[in-house]
Structure 1
Amino acid sequence: MKKTNPSTKLDELYSLRETFSVIGITGRSGSGCTDVARILAKDFKDLEITRPKEMSQIIQERKYEIVYNFSISNWITYNTIEYKNVLILLLIQNVSHRAFSQHLKNYFRKSFSQETDEKHVSKLHKELYAVFKYHSPIIKKAKSFRSIDKLKRDKKLKELAIFFWGDFKHFAEQIDAILVKYGTLERIFLLHHTASNFRKSGQPFKSEVVEFKHIYHIAHVINRIIKGVKVSDRNKNAHVVIDSLRNSSEINFFKERYSGFYLVAVKSDDRKSKLLERYNDSQIVEGILKFDETEYKCNDFVKGRFFTPDVQNCIQKADYHIITNSKSSSKTDFITLEQQLMKLQGLVQQPGLITPSTIERCMQFAFNAKLSSGCISRQVGAVITDSEYSVKSIGWNDVPRGAVPCVVRNAKDIVKDNPFGFSSFEKGFGLKESSDGSFIIDPDHAEIDQESKDFNDYLKNSFNEAKLSDTSLGGINCPYCFKTVYNTFKGEKNQVHTRSLHAEENAMLQISKYGGQPLKDGILFTTASPCELCSKKAYQLGIKKIYYIDPYPGISRSHILRQGVKPVSTDSMTADPELHMFYGAIGRGFVKLYEPFLSQKDEIGILTDFELKTPVKEEVKQIKNILEKRMKNDPKLNEFFKDEQTVIDRILTLVEKGNNFSIPVNETEIMQKDEKNVD
């Protein structure tokens, strides 16, 4: 749907956003991704959005009013690309009747540890086959597109878009409903592995061979559908929402391809209750949450299995975060789901429509800080403010001052005589080193010294030119994570061996390092969330609010930050800090959404041809001041400027007639001088 307001002089300037944008949605199961897509597909009049208060004196409410008024005329409805529908399209296009039966036997189950119920699957296949047979024209049409990911002709792209949102959409919904009927968890397992297989090999079937050239296979298909929307609309309007993306490689594909792509992370504190409300079956919900935990973690991804879901990485890449905890509100504070999406749309179409909230600004500081991190595993930033959100300190996860960050070390240097940036322990010197640098076992520290030597040998065997050739590295540096390698060497999992300080503790220490400031009742912003150790430190410092992006997997929230003890001699009910899930713009999205194309002052001037004019009285005053400097104490000067309203006209008359500039004091004198000139 196009915007409803009349065209303006600046339409061309904003045409790229008015005619094209793609919103990708990511989030954990039960967070509300589909709800976001449904709202974006509605007309503005159908949204449950509180009207702004008139003549409000509160800045936040004035911002709300600005966005609301803009949205009335400029809200755009989005076309929804459901990821599951894309998978169904690829399945029916690539799989024969017999192969589809085998595909169901392989993956229509709750887990690989569970045997497939072949009778159940056979019954499912029979029902699906009946639908396929009834809708054979749709199957035939789907197969006619052949390699969708390589379609280029406008005619075919247009056909694809019309087909995808036409007959095929109803067909896909029917197929999905049948899959759900035969097993909710089985359906999730089937679609999960179908998607992974397509990204792994370009086919839905099992394959032991991983070909990275297929990692964007599904993304390319979605891209072709988006192109089809653009060519099928007369005015080339294409606004698409993808529900939903759960693989960070695909997200990178769209981020790099489209400047108008925005990734929205949807989060919720009550996912379990929402799922129970939807399914009304605790066993199904527990199964979904268990499977969601697998998709959320990045265990496979860090091993190079980039075809698997990694929702945690996806959330970290988001441009805009949304929380779905609040269903309705009479407040005008961008807290409900509809209000948050209204703000997003307004900023997409009119960057800089309003300025960032205090929370967004502080979290962006933390985001920028994390980019300084020398950690090669994960970058985290943190900011600490006072109770009025005045920044007191920033920090990022990195080694202590004076140590060499991991990112600039090279693991292959360990074979050298004096490798740069490595500790005595890593070099194999243990706690004692001789004057010539040779290894000596000290009887008092024999055990640790021997471990140091063994670890050095382990490093040299693990990181050498044979295993890590310059050719395979492609010219990039080769640092290594001490914690990971040492834990592997010891056969344990101990977080204490990390070389880096955590971002939160680094921010706290920075304050004490340079003189110290009180942090009681302060506010902590972190691009992750505090671990157990950092949570204890924040609790001890009297931090009252913690804003986080992604919850820590440990027990810091439920154990450390939820003591429930009333503090001594204060009015607070508890010493526990308030925990707030961050929502709003961040990262590249922060800059894209809040940096205006044009200053608002210039924009308004261009739109309205508005021009301020200096009052005649002030113009006359300026002219008189200039003349007084040249004609001091001339009585005729004051007489001439007596009638301010006609002074400028009289001067212009003199200039136009080319008279010698002596100042006539009235109209009669002007006429007399004119008559002399005629003679």
Structure 2
Amino acid sequence: MGLKEFYKLRNDFILIGLTGRMGGGTHDVGDILCSKQYSNYFDENDNKNLILKDEIDQIKKNNINEGLKYEILHSFIKGEDNFTSFQRLKYKSVILFQFLFDCKKDNKEEFRDNIIKIILDIGQYKKFVNERFGSDSDSTDFINKELKDFLEENLTGNIVDFFKIEGENLHEFFENSIDNIQCQRIGNFFFSAEFTDFAEKFFDTLDLYSHSIRIRFVHILAYMYRICGKINLESSLKIDDGEEKGTLESKNIYFNAKTIKYLVKVYKRTFGTCNIVIDSLKNSFEVNYFRERFSGFYLVAVNRDEDSRVIKLENKINNISPKIGAKDDILKTVKFDKTEYKTDNFKDGNFAAVDVENCIQKSDYHIYIDKEIKTENVYADEESEVELKYADRFRLTKPQVLNLVNSQIDNYDFQKKIDDKNTFSYKSCDLQILKLICLIKQPGIITPSALERCMQIAFNAKYNSGCISRQVGAVVTDKSYSIKGVGWNEVPEGQTPCSLRSIYEFKDGFSNPSVFTDFEKNGRYEDDNKSFKDKIVESLNSVPVEFKDELNGRNCPYCFKEFHNSFEGQKNQVHTRSLHAEENAMLQITKYGGQPLKGGHLFTTASPCELCSKKAFQLGIQNIFYIDPYPGISRKQILKGGNNEISNPNLYMYQGVVGRGFNKLYEPFMSIKDETKLRTKIKPVENDKVKIKTIKNILEKEMKNDTAMKDKLDEIFKDDRNVIKKLTDLLKKGLENSSE
């Protein structure tokens, strides 16, 4: 029995959203998924396939069960229709599509001039801290000359004709087109080589002036659509200045996401199946929209080590050779990357800004692109084979290897460290993508790795946290990945977490006095002799009373650290009420009996701070796996602070499935045993004794009232070896007699 129809929904609709920092590798992963030649990589003699098989063999040597999993995946991907290339849907192309709709005019010259005008208007409608196209004379001249020349040559009649659309509302246009012939026209235009090439060349032209300003231009457009639903400078200015906040913005926050939704629908109705990669998403509220809207949506975070990521940005900009100067453009791009990663505008109600960090935290699958080290070329002339393995496995620089060999090798069992199955190695990007596609196409085709199992428990544990600022989970294991402690950031046992307390009790009276500390109820500040309670009430009185109605029955907790630091005019982390997740997990072990952790592992949803790093170091933790980097100097100051490289814990950014994707990708549609039987019809050969017993039961039922015949039957069935022959002989005689 074929099961194609059974998996049809999963195979015919896959929507992968990529997210990550600039230079992190989202475009690289998109290139692989959308490559028409990717399926050829699994041909037996293809070079990439041979490299992949070699990697799987290495995994198998280190851990046979993990190696067998990847062999199963490698075999599956080569099956008929188990991989089809994806259609790339670039986010910036969607923004350009919306922008052209707002700029549209009936003839080419007016269309071109309106594009130029609106770009310059965006750069001039207010005074900005950062440069934009049109904010100074140089960028204005560039737009008026180079971009205008580009549009003159590339704004074809087909593009102008397509945007001869009546009305000013793009989404109304989609709604009116989705069920008629216009739907196919949209699909054939947006996904055409003509529009794709136009979009690429449009942005490449802007890059020639400044890559960083071009990125900012796309962000500005995306921001305006999220708050206004169109390019509306007047409304944008009012929102930027604090007017109309929460009206236009809340109404249009999903505008870009809805445009993508319509384009996905258009693609499916135009081309049948729908395997699409969105490259890339950087607003977590848009991520939530896709997660709620499409069951076949998977968010994939892509990253690489910090040095490689920055080098990739530098190389890209150096190759562009922008007009403002590569060095200046690199600095601005790196600065902008940090801004879009760590932005916390959403905390002030500005949901339209990018927040890459939150997108990464919501991801279903994490791809980490490790440095590709070709040890045979780098060290072949000077180091021994063991030294090469060491450099490759622990990713040390040549001087570090030489220093280690010269000063530490005599006192350390070097080969034991190299051969230790507990040592972790990153999987290649190709292998990670192979695993993702196989799990999407065939959920539960393999079971989770030990790393995924532990990280998923840490991920789930974080939701126990009563911290109202950030929830973090952690798991501590021994060297065999047996879990010894689970923790989350939380107040000590016996205290009440912040999420369960209400700030209004300071004003309305303490209905639950035991959940507040003595300092909160009676403590005073020396500078003005005001009590903590007085300052809290003063803070509450400064807020218009109608804002309390916005709670709509919800609790109103508060963060003690935030208020206390503000009252003291300081920023002191020591005033947090909660234990960190990592130290909580470690303390659980001590609290309930104590077990050795030397050589073990720490899994945490956020990389450990300086304090937790010191505790992990002291406990002898060998490997630390994390999802989201924590700001600070813990890696350089603590985790690399040992007297020799070997004693330092290894810090690894996580690779694999986690979060909501864990159940989606690892829960099989039916048991593997049942599906295998349905597909192959393979079942065990039935034992003759079972057959004989079945025949005897049938005959006994027919002869239940004939004792004599039952006795004869028992006589025949005494000898199991010959019973079939005896019955056959009797049947033959009966048939012969009946024929006479």
- TMscore range, shorter length: 0.7 to 0.9
**What per-residue deviation string (whole Å, max 9, x for no partner) do you get for residues 98-148 of structure 1?**
474353364499972558332442332333334434425203413527533
Q: 1:201 aligns with which of 224, 228, 234?
A: 228
Q: CA deviation at 1:339?
A: 1.2
Matched residue, 2:647? 575
Distance 1:579 1:338 in 2: 22
Q: TM-score, normalised by structure 1?
A: 0.85
Q: 1:522 aligns with which of 575, 583, 600?
A: 600
Q: CA deviation at 1:674?
A: 8.9
> Structure 1 residue 78 and structure 2 residue 86: aligned?
yes
Distance 1:674 1:252 in 2: 78
Distance 1:66 1:79 in 2: 26
Q: 2:447 aligns with which of 342, 348, 355?
A: 355
Q: Which deviates further from its counterpart, 463-472 or 391-400?
A: 463-472
Distance 1:313 1:110 in 2: 29
Distance 2:469 2:349 in 1: 14
Q: Quick one: percent identity of the two aligned structures? A: 42
Q: 2:339 aligns with which of 291, 294, 300?
A: 294
Matched residue, 1:324? 369
Distance 1:110 1:329 in 2: 50
> Structure 1 residue 141 and structure 2 residue 167: aligned?
no
Matched residue, 1:66? 72
Distance 2:182 2:490 in 1: 52
Identify if the C-alpha distance between structure 1 residues 495 and 249 changes in structure 2 by more than 3 Å, giving closer, same or farther.
Answer: same
5 Å-filtered alignment, 1:407-418, equals 407-418=499-510
Matched residue, 2:623? 545
Matched residue, 1:440? none
Q: 1:248 aligns with which of 284, 288, 297?
A: 284
SS for the counterpart of 2:571 is coil
Matched residue, 1:118? 137
**What per-residue deviation string (whole Å, max 9, x for no partner) do you get for residues 241-275 of structure 1?**
01100000110110000000000001111211222
Matched residue, 1:25? 18
Conserved? CA contact 1:110–1:189, under 8 Å: no
Q: 1:175 aligns with which of 202, 209, 212?
A: 202
Q: CA deviation at 1:219?
A: 0.7
Conserved? CA contact 1:124–1:182, under 8 Å: no
SS for the counterpart of 2:585 is helix
Amino acid at match of 1:101: K
Q: CA deviation at 1:425?
A: 4.4
Q: Which deviates further from its counterpart, 608-617 or 312-321?
A: 608-617
Amino acid at match of 1:361: R
Identify if the C-alpha distance between structure 1 residues 410 and 622 changes in structure 2 by more than 3 Å, giving closer, same or farther.
Answer: same
Q: 1:368 aligns with which of 449, 460, 463?
A: 460
Amino acid at match of 2:39: K
Matched residue, 1:455? 532
Conserved? CA contact 1:52–1:64, under 8 Å: no
Distance 1:611 1:395 in 2: 46
Matched residue, 1:315? 360
Distance 1:84 1:476 in 2: 38
Amino acid at match of 1:187: R
Identify if the C-alpha distance between structure 1 residues 457 and 354 changes in structure 2 by more than 3 Å, giving closer, same or farther.
Answer: same
Matched residue, 2:489? 397
Q: CA deviation at 1:553?
A: 1.1
Q: 1:532 aligns with which of 588, 591, 610?
A: 610
Q: CA deviation at 1:581?
A: 0.8
**What per-residue deviation string (whole Å, max 9, x for no partner) do you get for residues 143-179 of structure 1?**
5275333413233332222111212111111211110
Conserved? CA contact 1:296–1:312, under 8 Å: yes
Q: CA deviation at 1:450?
A: 7.3
5 Å-filtered alignment, 1:227-242, equals 227-233=265-271, 236-242=272-278
> Structure 1 residue 52 and structure 2 residue 53: aligned?
yes
Distance 1:274 1:505 in 2: 36
Identify if the C-alpha distance between structure 1 residues 127 and 587 changes in structure 2 by more than 3 Å, giving closer, same or farther.
Answer: same
5 Å-filtered alignment, 1:536-615, equals 536-566=614-644, 573-615=645-687
Matched residue, 1:616? 688
Distance 1:584 1:214 in 2: 34
What are the ranges of 5 or more consecutive residues in structure 1 without an aligned counterpart?
1-7, 431-445, 567-572, 654-665
SS for the counterpart of 1:411 is coil
Identify if the C-alpha distance between structure 1 residues 145 and 357 changes in structure 2 by more than 3 Å, giving closer, same or farther.
Answer: farther
What value does the CA root-mean-square deviation take over the aligned residues?
3.3
Q: Which deviates further from its counterpart, 337-346 or 118-127?
A: 118-127
Conserved? CA contact 2:476–2:600, under 8 Å: yes
Q: TM-score, normalised by structure 2?
A: 0.79
> Structure 1 residue 265 and structure 2 residue 301: aligned?
yes
Distance 1:501 1:382 in 2: 12
Conserved? CA contact 1:229–1:238, under 8 Å: yes
Q: 1:423 aligns with which of 513, 516, 519?
A: 516
Conserved? CA contact 2:525–2:532, under 8 Å: no
Q: Which deviates further from its counterpart, 300-309 or 330-339?
A: 330-339
Amino acid at match of 2:187: A
